[in-house]
């Protein structure tokens, strides 16, 4: 198996509202049409998708598992080039309907980051400083 992630899909309670948050609020490009029933956003390396959580539950192999938005213990991170970008993105997300969970601040690992939750409660970390970012937007890890 190749070491890569092709798509990250969040189960959302209101597909149209979530598309509006990511597309209109955060400015992520998509060619979403409501009749498709799923929204895909092209990012710098992975496809990001939004899908109704009730439909997601129907597809899961365990009929007793009932997923709920934002409760899965996962944080999605978006690393940026500067501390100012962290501040700007947290403000942009908040003005687009996100809830700021932690204002940007110095971290124990020597970086600078803040957290927000999207309309379904999924946590996002906006961070600077852990690893440099290449011109393509990807992190440059020590083994690269």
- In this chain, the answer to whether the domains covering 7-63 and 75-131 adopt an identical fold is yes
Domain edges within the chain: 7-63, 75-131
As a CATH number, domain 7-63 is 3.10.180.10
Say which CATH superfamily domain 75-131 falls into: 2,3-Dihydroxybiphenyl 1,2-Dioxygenase, domain 1 (3.10.180.10)
Residue 111, burial from CB neighbour count under 10 angstroms (0-12, 13-18, 19+): middle
- Fill in the DSSP letter of residue 35: G
Confidence (pTM): 0.78
Q: Which residue has the higher pLDDT, 52 or 60?
A: 52
Q: Which residue has the higher pLDDT, 36 or 23?
A: 23
Distance (Å, rounded) from C-alpha 7 to C-alpha 40?
9
Each residue's pLDDT tens digit, 22-35: 999 999 999 898 89
């Amino acid at each position: 198996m190749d070491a890569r992630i092709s798509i990250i899909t969040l189960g959302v309670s209101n597909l149209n509202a979530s598309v509006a948050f990511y597309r209109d609020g955060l400015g992520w490009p998509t060619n979403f049409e409501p009749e498709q029933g799923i929204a895909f956003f092209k990012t710098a390396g992975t496809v990001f998708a939004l899908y109704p959580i009730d439909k997601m539950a129907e597809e899961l192999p365990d009929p007793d598992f009932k997923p709920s938005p934002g409760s899965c213990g996962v944080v999605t991170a978006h690393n940026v080039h500067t501390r100012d970008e962290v501040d700007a993105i947290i403000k942009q997300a908040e003005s687009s309907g996100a809830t700021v969970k932690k204002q940007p601040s110095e971290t124990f690992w020597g970086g600078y980051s803040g957290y927000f939750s999207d309309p379904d409660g999924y946590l996002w970390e906006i961070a600077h400083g852990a690893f440099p970012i290449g011109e393509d937007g990807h992190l440059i890890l020590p083994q690269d």
